[in-house]
Structure 1
Amino acid sequence: MTPPAPRLHATGQPLDEAVADAAAEWLTRFMAGEVDAGERRRWQQWRAAHPDHERAWQHIERVSASWQGLPPGLAYRTLAPLAGRPARPGRRQLLAALFGVGLASGLGLAASRSTPLRALHADLRTATGEQRRIELADGSLLTLNTASAVDIRFDGEQRLVRLIAGEIHVVTGHDARFAGQPFVVATDDGRVRALGTRFAVARDDAGSRVDVFAHAVEISPAGRPERTRIVGAGEGARFDADDSRASALDPRPEQWAAGQLHADDVRLDDFLAELGRYRSGILRCDPAVAGLRFSGVFPLADSDRILAMLPNSLPVQVRFRTRYWVTVSTVDAR
């Protein structure tokens, strides 16, 4: 049985993917300069034919003009290389760029776990490439990584940080005024109670993750809270609403919390995939250089500088089509 096509949503109303695809097709024509007076009339007729058409087009106009902070017009030039026929991967990438990035604007895949509307209205959130550190009322230090969002509630009974999207690093405070109030990080998958500690919690498509760097935490899955697990210093764990399981410690939260991106004999494509989380737009790696390995420590605050440093260590060139469309390829590539 063929699975149904994904449906997008806007203000609670379903939007067929076919409508989104048609809107993306019109966008590619405009980007390619293929719209003459006759085409423009047909485009206007298409928009007027159904409210969903107009809704989809208005959404694309908003997203393409403000996509991750791109200036109007530049977004079109950046998205243009993704244009392709519907059967090609490029069209899927274009739809993901337009409607995926636009989740926070009110359109989103029904199956998305990142609850973008909640993230949009969170107490604290960061954009792509942004990090933010604050001191909470109890003296705890909370650091949000790129594209993260949290709600905070200190209610006299507990100190609660709800992680809506992304990842956070926590160093718990010990203000005597909050003695007896547990410090808890909650996700849709469960609760992480700090036991006097330094730790990180992240959310992704597979569930939630905790890494402990000092002392310990207690995990309670949302659906089976009796299945608690203690995770000690130097340990990690993954959990969902039903259970938790031990995993190796991921050292990266301590690194990004210090504003650093570490490479320890890593493949170039893996390094660029991680770096891509900290910059807007498209960052491509030529398969011809994907397997090159290197090591280094880089400042996360300046991803352009990191890219500029790569040719000093590897036989590669970095090509900026725009600030938001970058390709790392072989030196002799054209």
Structure 2
Amino acid sequence: MLVDQYNPFEGKMLQILDQEGNITDEKLLPEIPDEELVRLFKIMLYTRVIDRKALMYQRQGRMLTYAPNEGQEACQIGSVYALEQRDWMAPAFRELGAWLTRGVDLKTLYLYWYGNEMGSKVSEEIRILPVSIPISSQLLHAVGLAYAAKVRGLDEVSIAYFGDGGTSEGDFHEALNLAGVYKTPTIFLCQNNQWSISVPKHFQTASETFAQKAYAYGFKGIKVDGNDIFAMYAATKEAVDRARKGEGPTLIEAYTYRLGAHTTSDDPTRYRDNTEVEAWREKDPVKRFRIYLEKRGLWDEEIEKAYVAEKEEEVEQVFADIEQNGGTAFDDVFMYQYAEMTPILKEQYAEWKAFFQERGML
């Protein structure tokens, strides 16, 4: 098994596709049909188009604070591709590629960052929890979903996404402990992008890897090249298969890099050197996957130009519609927090209505 072959205590990291677009070990290459490879790359490109457009809209004052994804596309898309529709995903807030792969539409995603409550509502057929801003709280939700599935005898797994900074939260340790004790079918996906806002990895933990933390809780962990879509898929698929067979949880450390800011409220130039950023840019997940597909004759520059132009136009049309029709009905802030409004919320809602009625604004 990969999880044994790439023991984090031995300083090993799983890689299948290197930064030059070469396969390092053909035996490890997952069997993915050519048409699916192209589809996954298109999702990767689409993610980057959406991401860059969102940054532009935010800088123009047309969108609220946004969390960029550039550089982390492979660890998101490769991992979530290993799930089935019946499985659950518990995201943090930087999982654009995973949301798109699971089938969340662009309008919903942009509505969230636009400040509309409906951006948190996805189709019930897509098993994704809402964005979790409190760090690592979603890990316990993922364990709860997995434990419920196990108790009910359902063939379902859950995956929780979080950053390296999330491993310093109590919820991280509580979730791993609970998952280890009850052997829940949970995959913990740590996107180690080297920086938790302005805090570097070496101030986050004294451990050599984040993957090794799994062993303290009685299950396995593996460190994976997070910019390698094949390695991310292979490691996650194995973890999903093991979970379905009752072998418990897995912690996957996706070794990647946040090329942009933590959010649009952050200035990364104040705490990291640009030479570091440029060195990681050479390991770009989009670049290496593109080279691989071109070598296989599955992709070329002309196809990419046409596809990107098409998606840019689509994104612009979606956002234009949101600007015209996506304003938040203030009632939603009260109505959709709980299934039924709590007494305190009802009181606050009444105060809000009275305030605006007195001023003739309702």
| Smaller-chain TM-score bracket | under 0.3
Q: Taking structure 2 as the reference length, what is the TM-score of the superposition?
A: 0.24
Which structure is higher in helix share? Answer: 2
Q: Computing the radius of gyration over CA atoms, which structure comes out larger, 1 or 2?
A: 1
Higher strand share: 1
Q: Which has the higher contact order (CA 8 A, sep 6+)?
A: 2
